[in-house]
Every structure is written in structure tokens, then in C-alpha cells.
């Protein structure tokens, strides 16, 4: 079985050019890549809605009655019809009329701001979960400045308040950035803890003379003066914030993918050691990330203040701090993806309000749906197994091969 050296030399001489055994996957065409990138989010959404439907079905009172009497088919029939009815109203209330579209837009704006904030910091490897605190500080600065500059014309007043709201969030956000840059403090811990600091600091500030609405005993600020409020479409609640946030998404996309800052940030996020080697200042990058991410969250608080919730109260930030993470992950940390993710969650919310009044199902069912979506998004292996989605070895992304039943 062994070849002689002479034969070998002959083989070489005959021209058997050396080549590598491994051949890499060819670049896939755009539609294939798009399908691959969308597979997991779409399947996660589908699974979330399916689980939501099951819960709604099980919550139908008739379902258990029928089951008790052994009427299995009727039981499932009622369950399915209640779920169908709920989703019908959910959809109708989100997209069924111009008013519905307007509400969906109003719900989308703050989600998109905080989603961009989280996506931007995650891209830089900075796991910022402090959007809540930054949101609050943006709003606090904005309410102070809106009333400080009262009397200005809106065209000057609004931009000033927006910029100062951005700065408010940026200052709060940069605390965690500086801590990590200087001392290496774990940002998950610091941003989470700074949320508590922000909440209770704001609770206290709200009863100080600087912020508290004159003559009120409870913690609430004065309303932002009308000249600072963002103009809305006449007859609707939809406001200028939609355009501002879309512009921000495009700017963030541009920074991430077209500038040296974005390159720097993504290098730090992908491999901080290699970034150091390449002469990038990792410390400054972390601070920069938190200035921008904090600013975006601050803008979220500011636009809320200048539109639907015109004064700050202790619960002002609601669940936006954690929605930020949901939107960013669902949008796969891509500004364009985040637009769709925020729109999706925004429409679930505006839909849920209509669903609640039409079917008396609780609004919070959509929080369950949202949670299931995120659980599946963050466990792509699970979703791949359920839906038999192949993983493309070379890229780490997914390709869709077979359906549910395969």
C-alpha cells in the first residue's frame, strides 16, 4: 500500500497542485440571507402567539365546564374561539383604523428609543440594563428645562428640551460607563443597581421644591408647558416623535456601520483584547457607548414627557427599562431590526388595550406573549430543534429548511 518516493515525485511533477480540503460556503444571495436572519425572530413570534392562544383558551370559563362534562371537542372549540376572538380584537385595535394606527405609533416611539439604546450598547459588548434610570433622568431634566425656558417659541424650545433630555440620560448612563472604564466594574451589576438609585432619587426629588408641583402633597412635577410639547397630528395622538425616533434609528445605523466610531465599538464588543492590540481605547469606547445609549434612553423619557405623560411621577418609566432589552434582542441588535421589533411590540400594546375592552381578557396576556418570544429568541437552539432550522456552520446564523411537522 505504500507508494515509492519516485512515484510521489512523479505525482508532484505531473501537476497535482496543492489545495486545501476545506471549501468555504459561498456567499449566499440576499433573499437567502434575509430568510435565514428572519427565521428565528419570526418563529419565536409565532411560538409566542401560539403559547398565548393556549393560555387564553385555558382561561375560558366554559373550557373547564365542558371538560368536566367530558365534552372534549366543545371544550377545545370554546378555547379556540376565545383565542381567535382575542387575536381578532388585538389585530383590529392595532391596525383596524387610522386611530388604531396612530395609537400603535404612539406606543412604538418610546420602545424604539430604548430599543436603540440597548442595541447600541450591546453591540459594543456593554450589557447595559439601566435604561430605566436613564429614561427617568432624561425626563427629569426635560421637565425642569421645559418649565425653565417657558415662554420661548416651540421651534426653539422643543429642540432645546430634547437636547437637554438627551444630556440628562447621557450623564446618568455615563456613570456606569466610567465605572467600567476606570475600575472594570461589571456593568450588569452597576446599571441594575443604578436603576434603584435613580428610582428612589427621583422619588425624593419629586417632593423637593425644585420639582414638586406647587400646592400638591404627592410626588408629581408640574406639567410641561405647552410650547415645549411635540406637535401632534390634528385629531390624533400620533406626534412628531415618530419622525425624530426614525431619524435617530438611521443615525445610529450610520454610526454603527459607516463610521470609525462604529467600527471601534463593534471591535470592542466582539473582542476587547484585539481592540486593545489594534490601538483602540477600550475605556473611552465604553464611556462613549454609555453617553449615546444613555442619551437615547433619556430621549425616550423626554418624548414621553412632551407627548402623552406631561408630568413626571414615581412610576413614570413603567417597564421601559426591560422592554429595551426585549426590543433590542428581538431586533437582533440591528437598528433596522429594532424598528420592526419596536413596531411589533408597540402594536401588541395598542392592540391589547382594545382587546381588553372588547373581550375582558387582561392586558397582561401580551406580557406573557412577549416573555415567550424573548425566551425563544435567547434560546435559538431550542427553536431550531422545534422547527428543524439548520444552523449555517460558517456564519453562525440560521437557515430555514423544514417546517413544523418534518
Name the site residues for other proteins (rule: CB under 8 A).
1-5, 8-9, 11-12, 16-27, 258-263, 266-267, 270-271, 273-281, 394-396
DSSP 3-state assignment of 306?
A: coil
Return the number of the residue (267 or 307) whose C-beta is nearest other proteins: 267
Return the number of the residue (48 or 337) whose C-beta is nearest other proteins: 337
DSSP 3-state assignment of 281?
A: coil
> Measured between alpha carbons, how far is residue 344 from residues 98, 338, 368, 398 in Å?
17, 10, 15, 22
Instruction: Give the residue from 326, 317, 308 showing the smallest Cα distance to 242.
Output: 308
Beta bridge partners of 390: 399
Return the number of the residue (3 or 73) whose C-beta is nearest other proteins: 3
Render the burial of 38-59: b for 16+ CB within 10 Å, e for the rest: ebbbebbbebbbebbbebbbeb
The CB-of-7 to other proteins minimum distance in angstroms stands at 8
The cell 429594532 sits on which residue?
338
Cα angle value 278/279/285 (rounded, 5°): 105
**How far apart, in Å, do the first and last CA atoms of the chain sit?**
45
The CB-of-282 to other proteins minimum distance in angstroms stands at 10
Render the burial of 289-309: b for 16+ CB within 10 Å, e for the rest: bbbbbbbbbbbbbbbbbbbbb
The CB-of-11 to other proteins minimum distance in angstroms stands at 8
The CB-of-286 to other proteins minimum distance in angstroms stands at 16
Return the number of the residue (207 or 272) whose C-beta is nearest other proteins: 272
Return the number of the residue (49 or 255) whose C-beta is nearest other proteins: 255
Instruction: Give the residue from 81, 48, 50, 144 showing the smallest Cα distance to 371.
Output: 48
The CB-of-392 to other proteins minimum distance in angstroms stands at 11
Q: Rounded to an integer, what distance in angstroms lies between the CA atom of residue 107 and that of residue 214? A: 30
Return the number of the residue (26 or 68) whose C-beta is nearest other proteins: 26
Structure letter (DSSP) for residue 227: G
- Which phi and psi (to 5°) does residue 110 adopt? -65, -35
Structure letter (DSSP) for residue 391: E
> Residues 57, 62, 67, 72: is their CA dihedral positive or negative?
negative
The CB-of-127 to other proteins minimum distance in angstroms stands at 17
Residue 200, all three cell numbers = 428612589
The CB-of-199 to other proteins minimum distance in angstroms stands at 36
Return the number of the residue (241 or 269) whose C-beta is nearest other proteins: 269
Q: Rounded to an integer, what distance in angstroms lies between the CA atom of residue 354 and that of residue 352? A: 5
Q: Rounded to an integer, what distance in angstroms lies between the CA atom of residue 319 and that of residue 321? A: 5
Return the number of the residue (74 or 395) whose C-beta is nearest other proteins: 395
Return the number of the residue (27 or 315) whose C-beta is nearest other proteins: 27
> Residues 23, 29, 32, 35: is their CA dihedral positive or negative?
positive
Return the number of the residue (99 or 395) whose C-beta is nearest other proteins: 395
Q: Rounded to an integer, what distance in angstroms lies between the CA atom of residue 323 and that of residue 304? A: 15
The CB-of-255 to other proteins minimum distance in angstroms stands at 9
The CB-of-291 to other proteins minimum distance in angstroms stands at 16
Amino acid at each position: 500500500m505504500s507508494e515509492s518516493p519516485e512515484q510521489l515525485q512523479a505525482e508532484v511533477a505531473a501537476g497535482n497542485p496543492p489545495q486545501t480540503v476545506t471549501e468555504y460556503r459561498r456567499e449566499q444571495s440576499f433573499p437567502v440571507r434575509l430568510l435565514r436572519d428572519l427565521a428565528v425572530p419570526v418563529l419565536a413570534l409565532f411560538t409566542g402567539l401560539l403559547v398565548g392562544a393556549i393560555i387564553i383558551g385555558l382561561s375560558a370559563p366554559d373550557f373547564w365546564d365542558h371538560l368536566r362534562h367530558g365534552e372534549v371537542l366543545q371544550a377545545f372549540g370554546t378555547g379556540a374561539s376565545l383565542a381567535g376572538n382575542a387575536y381578532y380584537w388585538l389585530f383590529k385595535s392595532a391596525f383596524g383604523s387610522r386611530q388604531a394606527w396612530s395609537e400603535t405609533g404612539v406606543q412604538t416611539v418610546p420602545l424604539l428609543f430604548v430599543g436603540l439604546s440597548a442595541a447600541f450598547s450591546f453591540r459594543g459588548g456593554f450589557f447595559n440594563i439601566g435604561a430605566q434610570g436613564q429614561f427617568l433622568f432624561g425626563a427629569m431634566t426635560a421637565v425642569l428645562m421645559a418649565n425653565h425656558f417657558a415662554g420661548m417659541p416651540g421651534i426653539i424650545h422643543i429642540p432645546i428640551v430634547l437636547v437637554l433630555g438627551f444630556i440628562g440620560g447621557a450623564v446618568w448612563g455615563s456613570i456606569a460607563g466610567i465605572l467600567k472604564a476606570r475600575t472594570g466594574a461589571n456593568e450588569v451589576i452597576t446599571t441594575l443597581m443604578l436603576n434603584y438609585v435613580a428610582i428612589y432619587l427621583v422619588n425624593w426629588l419629586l417632593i423637593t421644591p425644585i420639582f414638586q408641583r406647587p400646592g400638591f402633597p404627592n410626588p408629581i412635577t408640574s406639567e410641561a408647558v405647552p410650547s415645549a410639547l411635540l406637535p401632534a397630528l390634528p385629531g390624533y395622538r400620533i406626534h412628531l416623535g415618530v419622525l425624530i425616533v426614525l431619524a435617530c434609528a438611521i443615525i445610529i445605523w450610520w454610526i454603527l456601520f459607516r463610521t470609525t466610531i462604529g467600527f471601534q465599538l463593534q471591535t470592542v464588543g466582539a473582542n476587547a483584547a484585539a481592540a486593545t492590540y489594534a490601538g483602540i481605547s477600550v475605556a473611552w469606547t465604553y464611556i462613549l457607548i454609555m453617553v449615546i445609549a444613555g442619551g437615547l434612553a433619556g430621549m425616550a423619557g423626554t418624548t414621553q414627557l412632551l407627548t402623552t405623560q406631561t408630568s413626571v411621577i414615581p412610576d413614570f418609566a413603567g417597564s421601559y427599562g426591560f422592554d429595551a432589552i426585549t426590543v433590542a434582542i428581538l431586533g437582533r441588535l440591528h437598528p433596522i431590526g429594532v424598528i420592526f421589533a419596536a413596531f411589533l411590540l408597540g402594536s401588541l400594546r395598542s392592540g391589547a388595550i382594545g382587546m381588553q375592552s372588547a373581550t375582558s381578557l387582561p392586558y397582561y396576556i401580551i406580557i406573557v406573549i412577549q416573555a415567550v418570544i424573548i425566551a425563544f429568541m435567547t434560546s435559538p437552539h431550542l427553536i431550531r430543534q422545534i422547527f428543524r432550522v439548520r444552523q449555517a456552520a460558517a456564519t453562525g446564523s440560521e437557515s430555514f429548511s423544514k417546517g413544523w411537522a418534518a
